[in-house]
Structure 1
């Protein structure tokens, strides 16, 4: 998954002037849905919405030209060109071909690797696939192959092996009974179109989804997709349905969560464009999925243990914060202790303070992220925080600055020191004892 590149310039950016329906839901309350044009049919415009809901752009780019590396345990798998180019894309596909591709991972002439989430798309409705097919006929063709293509070592390059894999792992989920109509819609979005389990569900020995641990959190390269079951201790049980909607719309939840990495891309490419009804349906469903408690628990948000802004204006006044930061650095470094430059506070101020603020509340007007109270800081395990410090992160909106990684600038001991400082001062932990050895193990 990659950051947003370029919007399709040949298609109109904005809302449809008339109400376009997606399974009975008006699209007129979606957030500036790109690639929807009054010149296209209602069916094609509905397909543009389905493409957003299915998060196609995160892997195939905004122009669908492909070439995005998808990290898997067996190596990088590169996405393909899915524009209507007859030579390089899917211009020769019939609607039946698209159905087989989405539901069975079977493209004309070859089997697809499940890096394309067809185990989840298996449950897509005929109506949504028809709309998606109509939409892709309106996309400007890209008459070029992706810069890189998939080349896996033997025997993983034998794609027919996926047929046996499919028997075991497709579909990736099963529909539940006893849900309300709203929850059923949410189940379809979470399980099938948005394929949330692809990241948030652990894998079994065959690298299929472990259905018994559905949505309970899973490692994802340098990231960890957290538990999103309604468990109060390790999941999102303390979030209200409106909290979930706000997070999926904006990628932020004050003093609780900030979307980075793959989740930021999911928000940027997909969930922020969904209708209020669909986001509410997803939230309603996530509140009733089976509760699973994992060992990566979080301490509850305790506002009394979190820092207060240094002044009523410093969080928004960049000059005031700049001056205060300079004074704080001078005060810390002027201490007679020769090792003070490597003290936790001085390391935080010199490495993190100019963006995240001396008090952790950052600079919202400049799109820098507040880190006070974030769930990644409040968790028992420091893995997520350490990985962000080491490798950086990108926010959900392309107007937000990208956080750089410090794995080459900071030692393991320095990363551990900053981790401990942040967890205690901005996360509410009573103590934090992350060591250089812990950092080395986590990064490895």
Structure 2
């Protein structure tokens, strides 16, 4: 089972009392794969651009594609971007790649904005040139992904993207008054890393709601948090070094742990970035306007956080076995005591005292701000649905919707929020769990009724054409 901290990484916004991991700030960046002295400087630079643009999160480390990207319109599958002439982009020219990245236009069709060209539209030509040179050198995968995109009408009409692009590209605007470092950070945040794709909510056309820039958005069962410098609902309590450490290591002690989509971003992209680029991102994020949302966090009460029972029992699963066995026996005998439920369902990974199993990559959940948010929706969703790891070697947490009833899930939610989040009380009910379990992401009106609107549009167009034809025929008869 994956740690609750990993489940909720994207929701984890800092606590004010905990210091940044000093050792994390000094860790070296991950060694960049596919860089070799045998390659040209341009190709090696392109390998870095591929990481900075997070290409692998969707197309895979081998660039063969096939990753499912869930959207309100349906599933979109990433494509093969290896130099395969039959299945990939082996026949692309540099101009073709530039059109795909900046305009969403492949040689034979329009792309869907699941490929974040609304953000890549701001990519610099020299970065595209380097990326093109690099992509020509990756190993060829001569096969198509198992699944291909097949959206329902009218979204299967790719030409409609021309109108969508007119309304929504580019997705961001450059700010004035930034320092050179912050300008670099803006380029990384808005264009290469395309952070707004997850963290900025959408408008009625599914483009970015620019007034709510980086203030958080719902992604299926995930919630990408507010990353503006707001103190109560964003990352205002994080220092620039905190941001650098999180992007480099994927965690902040007793505050945040990256998993899910954010875990993928760290695993495939941000941990490879140069320190100066990470610092530029941090400086920019501290300079943007703070936006307060209604999903605020309670201030952490350090005095209410648990003290590790002892070093052995905190880090050694064998030392916890008696606690866990007793809890499982109690639950099997019908106990719904929240502590027993937590220990039986979660304790073997999160630990009996919430400090996890660090050696096995099961991080602690004590103090995480995801447990202190006013809204329990994201926490409940992760318990219900679980989450896959960011990499092939990451632990996987299953969902518990088939194993635990709503009352039991509410009990675990309240238990971890109070005992490991430091809240004075938590009153999530079974009814709350039922509501959260049956609430999907709201689809904008235009998306929800797109098929009906398209049919009505066709009917209106036909009626108008008929009216025009009749008018023309009457005019000729009068002559």
What is the TM-score with the length of structure 1 in the denominator? 0.90
Counterpart of 1:428 (choices 419, 422, 425) is 422
CA contact (8 A) 2:150 2:156 kept: yes
Q: Which has the higher helix share?
A: 2
Q: Which residue pairs with 1:20 in the alignment?
A: none
Q: Could you report, residue by residue, the CA deviation over 1:68-117 in whole angstroms, capped at 9, with x for unpaired residues?
A: 11000000011111111111111111111111100010110110000100
Any conservation in 1 of the 2:261–2:390 contact (CA below 8 Å)?
no
Q: Give the superposition deviation at 1:258.
A: 1.4
- Matched length: 411
Match of 1:274 in 2: 273
Aligned to 2:399: 405
RMSD (Å) for aligned C-alpha atoms: 1.6
Q: Secondary structure at the match of 1:83?
A: coil
| Partner secondary structure for residue 379 of structure 1 | coil
Structure with greater contact order relative to length (CA < 8 Å, sep ≥ 6) = 2
4+ residue segments displaced more than 3 Å: 323-330, 394-400
CA distance in 2, matches of 1:355, 1:72: 31
Kept in 2: contact 1:201–1:209 (CA 8 A): yes
Deviations 1:331-389 (A, max 9, x none): x679xxx86x1111111111111110111011111211211111211100111111111
Rg larger in 1 or in 2?
2
Q: Which residue of the partner structure matches residue 362 of structure 1? A: 356
Match for residue 344 of structure 1?
Answer: 338
Shift of 1:286: 0.7
CA contact (8 A) 1:368 1:400 kept: no
1: distance between equivalents of 2:108 and 2:212?
34
Deviates further, 367-376 or 132-141 = 367-376
Q: Show CA shifts across 1:110-156 (max 9, x none).
A: 10000100000011001100000000110111111111101111211
Distance 1:172 1:284 in 2: 21
Which residue number corresponds to residue 222 of structure 2?
223
Aligned to 2:44, what secondary structure does the other structure show? helix
**Which residues in structure 2 correspond to 1:376-415 (within 5 Å)?**
376-396=370-390, 398-415=392-409
The 10-residue stretch of structure 1 (399-408 or 231-240) with the greater mean CA deviation from structure 2: 399-408
Partner of 1:97: 96
Shift of the 398–77 alpha-carbon distance from structure 1 to 2, 3 Å rule, reads closer
Question: Which residues of structure 1 form unaligned runs of 5+?
Answer: 1-28
CA distance in 2, matches of 1:171, 1:416: 42
Query: 1:168: which partner in 2?
Result: 167
Structure 1 residue 301, shift from structure 2 partner: 2.6
Aligned-residue offset at 1:39: 1.7
Contact 1:256 1:301 (8 Å CA) reproduced: no
Query: Secondary structure of the residue that 1:342 maps to in structure 2?
Result: coil
| C-alpha distance after superposition, 1:196-240 (max 9, x if no partner) | 000000000000010000000000011000100001100010011
Q: Deviations over 1:308-345 (max 9, x none)?
A: 10113322233222234345667x679xxx86x11111
Does the 8 Å contact 2:83/2:91 carry over to 1? yes
Residues 1:33 and 2:32 aligned together? yes
Shift of 1:67: 1.3
Cα deviation for residue 399 of structure 1 reads: 4.1
Q: Where does 1:213-252 land on structure 2 (aligned, <5 Å)? A: 213-252=212-251
